[in-house]
Structure 1
Amino acid sequence: MPSTVNALLSAWATSLILVVGGILLMEAVYTPPEHAPVAHDSAQQPQGNNTSHDTPAATAHENDAHEQPPRHEEPDTQMPDAGNTYSDLPAPGQPANNSSMVDFSEFDHVIPATALPELLEDNTIGLLPKISDDGRKPFDVYAAARPRDDTSPRIALMVTGLGMKSNITKHALANLPKAVSLAFSPYASNLNMWGEQARRSGHEVFLTIPMEPVNYPQNDPGSLSLLTSMSSRENVNMLRSSLIRLTGYVGIVNDMGSRFTAASESMSPVLDELKLRGLMFVDSKTTPYTRGATMAKAIGVPTAINNEYLDEDLAQEQIMEALDKLEKRAQAQGAAMGIGRPYPVTIEAIQTWSEGLKAKGFILVPVTAVANMQALPR
C-alpha cells in the first residue's frame, strides 16, 4: 500500500513540474507587442460622473434650422467605406506616410510634439491648459505651421469625431494633408497618445466640447455636455472636466450646441474661461442663431466659424461641391472654413481637391490661420 501511495505522489509531482515548467517557458518566450493601440468602439465612461448618459448618442442629429442640413454624428458601428478601406495604417507613435508630413521649408513654425509643462496648470482635477508665465498661449504655441503666403485666399478644414475608433483615427492621420486641423472627442481613450501623433504629423489639435442642442434630452451629447439649465459655475466645471482629458491643443469646437451657443448668458462664462487659458473657439454653427463667434471675438478670444459641412451627403461629388462652395466664399471674403467627418470618402475627396488647390490660386491652411478673418454671423 505505501508503495502505491508513493507512486501516485511521484506521478502527481512529475505532472506539476511539467505544467509549471510549461507556463514559465511560455512567459519567457512570449513578448507582448509594444505600444499596441487599443481599439474602442464606444465612448469611454467619463471619470467621476455616474449619470445615466455616459456616452454620446450614436446617431444623434441637430434638428434646428441652419444653413446646412443636419450633420452626421459618429456612429458606434464602422463608418461606411464608400468604396475605400482602411489599409496600411501606421501604429501609434510611428510616423504617418509622406503625404501628411510637414515640409518645414515652406513654413515658419514647428508644433511641439509633446505638451509643454509651462503651459499646463496642475489642478486638483488634472492638467489644464494655461497661459505661461512669460505670456505664451496654447493657441500660439500649438498652432500648426502656417504658410508665409499672405495674399492667396485661405481655406481651412477641420475633421472632427477623432479618437473614438483606432482604425478611423489612424486612417485620418495617415492620409489627410498636414494643414487639416484635427478635433478629438473628450469621450475617447488614449487622447494624449493620439494628440502627440497628430502634432508629430504636422496637424494642429482641437478638443470637441459637447453642448446642448435644441431637442435635448432626446438628442443627448453625453455626460460632459454643457447645458443651459446649469449655473455658470457648473458649466465652467463641466468644461474643465473635458479640458483635462487632452493636452497640447489650440482650442475647442462645439459639438451640437444649437441651444447652448444661442444662449448668451450660458456662453459668456465658457468663453471667459477660454480667454483665461489662451485657447481658441471654433463655432461649428449648428444654428444660425449662434452667439458664440460674435461673443468670442468681442472679448479677444481667437475665433473661426464653420461655413460648410462637407459630408452631409456621402457621395463624393456632393463633397466636392461643398469644397467648391468654400472656394467661392474664400474668393469673395478672403477666408473660409469647412468641417468634415473622418469618412474614407471625405478623406479621399479632401486629398484629391487639395492637390489642385494651389493651381487655382487658393491655399489650404490650418484653422488657426483663419482666426478672426471671417465675417461674423448676422
Structure 2
Amino acid sequence: MALPSAAKQIAIVIDDIGNHKRDLQLLELPGQLSFSILPHTPYSQQFAFLASQQSKELLLHVPMQSLQNKALGPGALTLEMNKWQLQSTLGHALATLPQVKGINNHMGSALTQFVEPMKWTMEVLKRRGLFFLDSRTTEHTQAQTVANLYGVENISRHIFLDNITTTESLRSQFEALKQKADSENFAIAIAHPYPETVAFLTMALPELKAQGYELVPVSQLVESKYIQLAEHNKPQARFFIPTSD
C-alpha cells in the first residue's frame, strides 16, 4: 500500500523503449523512473529483463492509430480492427512482457477518441488487473471515461517534457512539472529516450529530493488516487447520543 508522503510526488514515464540498444543505458538514470516498452521491438525483452532485475517499473507502450496515420510499428491497434482482432493483438503484446503493471498509448490521437475500441481495450486490462495511463495525445480522448466505466484504474499525463529538446525547453517543462506537483501534490510527465533528455534528467533528477519532491513509480500515484477516492466515498459513521426521558 502506498503510504502518505510529506513530499510532493512526481512520476516520470519514459516512452518508446525497445528499438535501440542505447535504450538499455536508460536504466542508469537515477531514481524510480517508469519505462514504457514498445511491443515486439528488438530490445524489448532484454530491457524488461534488466529492468526487472533492478526493480524498475514497466508499462507496455501500445501503438494506437493517430489522426496523422503515422507508421505505428508492430502490435498496433487500429480503427479497422474488430473486437477479436484488437483484443488478441493487445493480449499477444502483453503476453510477451508479463512484467508490466499497466499500459499507455503510443500516439492514439484517433483511436482514443472512439468509445468502442476503448471498451475492448479496457476489457483486456480489467481481466489482467492492469492500469491505464492516458498519454492524452488528444483533448477528445475517451480513454479514462471508458476505463472508469469498466472499473479499470487509470490516471493521465500532465506534462510532455521533451516535445522540444533544447536545454531551455527541457528546463521550462521540468519547472512546469514541479509547479503542477505544487498545486496538486503530484504530477506525471512523459519523456522519450532522446540523448538531450537523458543528459538533462541525469542532471535534474538528483535535485528533486532537496527541493521537496519525491520521484515515484507511476503505479504509486495510481494507487494513491484510488485510496483517496475510497476514503472520500466511505460512508460517514453516525453516532447517536442517548437522551433520558
TM-score range, shorter chain: 0.7 to 0.9
Letter in 2 for 1:204: E
Q: Distance in 2 between matches of 1:310 and 1:212?
A: 22
**Residues 149, 316 of structure 1: CA spacing in aligned structure 2 closer, same or farther, 3 A cutoff?**
farther
Greater relative CO, 1 or 2 (CA 8 Å, sep 6+): 2
Instruction: Kindly state the Cα deviation for residue 151 of structure 1 after the two structures are TM-superposed.
Output: 2.8
Q: Which has the higher strand share?
A: 2
Match 2:73 to one of 217, 222, 225: 222
| Equivalent-residue separation in structure 1 for 2:128 and 2:31 (angstroms) | 26
Which is higher, the Rg of structure 1 or of structure 2?
A: 1
Match of 2:26 among 162, 172, 180: 172
Task: Name the structure 2 match of 1:183.
Answer: 36
How does 1:73-84 map onto structure 2 within 5 Å?
none
One-letter identity of the residue aligned with 1:156 = A
- Report the alpha carbon displacement of residue 162 of structure 1 after superposing the two structures with TM: 1.3
CA-atom RMSD in angstroms: 1.9
Q: Which residue of 1 aligns with 2:212?
A: 361
* 1:212 to partner: Cα distance: 0.7
1:321 aligns with 2:176: no
In structure 1, C-alpha distance between the alignment counterparts of 2:173 and 2:8, rounded to whole Å: 17
| Partner deviation per Cα, 1:17-74 (whole Å, 9 max, x = no partner) | xxxxxxxxxxxxxxxxxxxxxxxxxxxxxxxxxxxxxxxxxxxxxxxxxxxxxxxxxx
Kindly indicate whether residue 90 of structure 2 is the aligned counterpart of residue 209 of structure 1. no
- 1:162 corresponds to: 17
Task: Give a deviation string over 1:173-218, Cα, whole Å, max 9, x none.
Answer: 12x12311011111313533321211222311111111011122xx
SS in 2 for 1:158: strand
Post-superposition CA distance 1:148-170 (Å, at most 9, x none): 5523221100111112111x212
Instruction: Say if 2:97 is the partner of 1:246.
Output: yes
CA shift at 1:223, angstroms?
4.4
2:58 pairs with 1:200: no
Tell me, yes or no, if structure 1 residue 337 matches structure 2 residue 188: yes
- For structure 1, the 5+ residue unaligned runs are 1-107, 109-145
Counterpart-to-counterpart distance in 1, 2:14 and 2:48: 14
Superposed CA offset, 1:218-241 (max 9, x none): x12134221122212221112123
CA deviation vs aligned residue, 1:244-282 (integer Å, no higher than 9, x gap)? 222211111110100111101110111111010111111
In the alignment, the residues of structure 2 paired with residue 223 and residue 365 of structure 1 have an alpha-carbon distance, to the nearest angstrom, of 30
> Residues of 2 paired with 1:190 and 1:309: CA distance?
24
Cα pair 2:40 2:74 within 8 Å, conserved: no
Distance in 2 between residues matched to 1:266 and 1:329, nearest whole Å: 31
Matched, 1:150 2:1: no
* Equivalent position amino acid for 2:189 in 1: G
Aligned to 1:349: 200
Which AA in structure 2 matches 1:309? F
Structure 1 stretches of 4+ moved >3 Å:
none
Specify which of 272, 275, 293 is matched with residue 144 of structure 2: 293
In the superposition, the TM-score normalised over structure 1's length comes to 0.56
Q: Which amino acid aligns with 1:172?
A: L
**Aligned equivalents of 2:15 and 2:114: distance in 1?**
23
Matched, 1:305 2:156: yes
Q: Does 1:279 align with 2:127?
A: no
Q: Does the Cα contact within 8 Å between 1:252 and 1:282 map onto a contact in 2? A: yes
Q: Is the 8 A contact 2:19 2:44 kept in 1?
A: no
| Unmatched tracts of structure 2, length 5 or more | 227-245
Deviation of the 1:335 alpha carbon: 1.4
Tell me how far apart the structure 2 counterparts of residues 169 and 223 of structure 1 sit (CA, whole Å).
Answer: 18
